[in-house]
Amino acid sequence: MPVPEVNAFIPIQDIGGISGKTSRGRTYTRRSVLERLSERVNFLGPVPGHNPSLGSCWVWTGGLNKGGYATILGEESRSSELIHRVSFRLHHGPIQDGLVIDHLCRNRACCNPSHLRQVSHRENILCGTGASARQSRKTHCKRGHEFTPDNTIIKAATKRNPLGTRRCLECQRAEGRSRYSGDGRASYLEYRRKLHEKIKARKNA
């Protein structure tokens, strides 16, 4: 990845400011999003520790939202937009439908276009540092069995687990067997008894 030599936005197109009339008949003008963005970005931000060759992040100096992202009023819309999306569009063109912008630098407040790429939502999660990403990088289950295709049960994606989850077949079998012998059997029967009680209580409620 080439390190940009110029610390400034070099948009592929200049999207001018807009002017118009408010509902009360006042005229207003809004400067271009590029102008407003440039003013509030520090082009000599930190260099990402995990990948110094990326060069400096271009960091928003204003406030950040709860997720750590920065927003700005977009060029046409009246609502605010994430600055890294605006910056991506200014430099690389429109963002494809259904794709999200991934920060190679992992700095959410950064809008350096060379740190941004568009990826699918799934890819974005896999490249991240979140729980799903960590989980999916594991090659063995918690008891040390390898996740080979034969030994892996894939569970469907849910809202909480957007990538779906993997289950170790060997562990699942062991759990199944323990239901039919010794202590495992006793605790399994106890679990079933409680479950039935719960269901009954719910029905009577």
Residue from 41, 70, 90, 168 binding Zn ion (CB under 5 A)? 168
- Of 66-74, 140-148, 179-187, 188-196: span binding Zn ion (CB under 5 A): 140-148
CB atoms within 10 A of CB 57: 24
Q: Give the span between the Cα atoms of 75 and 53, in whole angstroms.
A: 31
Q: Give the span between the Cα atoms of 138 and 30, in whole angstroms.
A: 50
Q: What is the nearest approach in angstroms of Zn ion to the Cβ of residue 158?
A: 21
Nearer Cβ to Zn ion (123/170): 170
Nearer Cβ to Zn ion (36/166): 166
Nearer Cβ to Zn ion (30/178): 178
Query: How many residues at the interface with Zn ion, by CB under 5 A?
Result: 12
Q: Give the span between the Cα atoms of 75 and 31, in whole angstroms.
A: 9
Nearer Cβ to Zn ion (90/105): 105
CB atoms within 10 A of CB 109: 23
Residue from 105, 113, 118, 124 binding Zn ion (CB under 5 A)? 105
What is the contact mask toward Zn ion in residues 53 to 92, using x (rule: CB under 5 A)?
----x-----------------------------------
145 counts as binding Zn ion under rule CB under 5 A: yes
The dihedrals phi and psi of 165, each to the nearest 5 degrees, come to -120, 160
How many whole angstroms from its chain centre is CA 107?
12
Per CB under 5 A, contacts with Zn ion among 31-60 are: 57
Q: Give the span between the Cα atoms of 83 and 34, in whole angstroms.
A: 10
CA distance between the termini of the chain: 63
Q: Give the span between the Cα atoms of 54 and 193, in whole angstroms.
A: 58
Residue from 107, 118, 124, 132 binding Zn ion (CB under 5 A)? 107
- Contact positions toward Zn ion, by CB under 5 A? 57, 105, 107, 110, 112, 115, 141, 143, 145, 168, 170-171
